[in-house]
Amino acid sequence: MSFLHLGVPSEPHKSVRQVKYLAMHVNSEPQTPNSKPRTPRTYLLINYEYPPLGGGAATASKSLADALVSKGSRVVVLTSAYRHLRGALDEGGVTVIRVPAWRASIHRSGMIQMAAYIVSACWHASRIARKYQVDRVLAFFSIPGGAVARWLQYRRGIPYVVSLRGGDVPGTESDLRLFYGLLAGFRRNILRHARYISAPSAGLKQLSEKADPFAIRVIPNAVDCQYFRPEPRCEHSALTLLSVGRLHRQKNVSRTLEILLAVRNQAGIPATARVIGDGPERQSLEDFVHRQRLDAAVSFEGWLTRTDVAAAYRSATVLVHLSSYEGLSNVVLEALASGLPVVASRIPENMELVESDRNGLLFDLDDPPPKIAEAIVRLYKSPDLWAQMSQQAREGVAARYSWDHVAEMYEKGF
């Protein structure tokens, strides 16, 4: 019988906390609100994607895990295996456990792989929680991560948090409308039993609260401003458009190539584009480049190391990020921290980071490529304006988005 039908209370009542207390065998003396626990907290981060697998949510998981460890907590990550990446490994003080999930691609996972991950992770979760004495769970995505966290809470009474990331919120992916409908009851059961639910942006919070009757708190993504930082550059460097991320329809990378074509045709500037990342759209993007004879102007570079991506931000003219929806883009945060102005779509999540004519440029999703190209050329031809945008990009992110602060926000929620 499913745990959805076993009469589990709809709220984390005292009886559930008592189960947790008995299961964990810790702190026999009562704790006051201001007292410190005798042992470090142990967090289990559940995400079916963790570097090198996945995209922005995977990167956020790793950064959060590192921040929690630096604050004195113990962190275990439960994620998907991939080829030789399997079993338990210590990765910089974080215990990463990779379980079988039929994962066939480093950059994408289908419904079958997500279902396999849920089954496999649930099978291992209780044993992992017991072995590592887990007392808090952070689940990325309501499904599949939240499903595993809900199972673990039912079995062992461990409280969990669900971090919504974008694609798991109804309304973001039109192709998943049937999926959202079929799993609505399951997803709401997961959200109902969470200690709290977070989203990385106010836009995603509003979308989730419109779809489901649960309050959402905003806990943003963050960025390592020591790693992603600007460097002095030549004022007359070539005009380079940069795209970083999965080559997926959501990211609208084809628009970047159309903008490049418009820049070269309208302004006569030998602009180039660097496309960092991979995904299902790569072949169609390469075909477009061949048809437009842009082979010498566009480089498809696949997934690069973190060091190489940071260097790419420091050498480009602008990041072009015209996605149709986001959670809160790690790529945009990294670019801004690197002092790189961002050309972004005017969607709520991007508007929380990018201010037009201050640290970048905002455009509607249906704005024609020649209009966007004209604005980029104007910025390129105004080095003082570019330098001003670059400085404001860096200062704005450094003041507001640190992983230590974000980790503290997650901790306080418990």
Question: What domains appear along the chain, each with residue ranges and CATH number?
Answer: 3-27+37-219 (3.40.50.2000), 240-400 (3.40.50.2000)
In the predicted model, what is the mean pLDDT of residues 98-126?
A: 92
CA dihedral 24, 29, 32, 38 (to 10 degrees): -60
pLDDT given for residue 213 in this prediction? 93
Q: 29: burial class by Cβ within 10 Å (0-12, 13-18, 19+)?
A: exposed
pLDDT tens track for 178-206: 777 888 899 999 999 999 999 999 989 99
* Average pLDDT score over residue span 332-343: 97
Q: Write the CB contacts of 358 (distance below 8 Å, at least 6 apart in sequence).
A: 389, 392
pLDDT above 80: residue 32:
no
In whole angstroms, what is the distance from residue 190 CA to residue 212 CA? 12
Q: What is the pTM of this model?
A: 0.78
Per-residue model confidence as pLDDT tens digits over 352-409: 999 999 999 999 999 999 999 999 999 999 999 999 999 999 999 988 898 999 999 9
Mean pLDDT of 234-257: 89
pLDDT of residue 224: 92
Q: Does the pLDDT at position 302 exceed 50?
A: yes
For the chain, give the percent of residues with pLDDT over 70: 89
According to DSSP, residue 219 is labeled -
pLDDT of 3 higher than 70: no
- pLDDT for position 36: 52
**Contact in structure between 171 and 210 (CB atoms under 8 Å):** yes
Report the pLDDT averaged over residues 199-223.
93
Q: List beta partners, residue 163.
A: 140, 198
Backbone φ and ψ of 224, nearest 5°: -85, 100
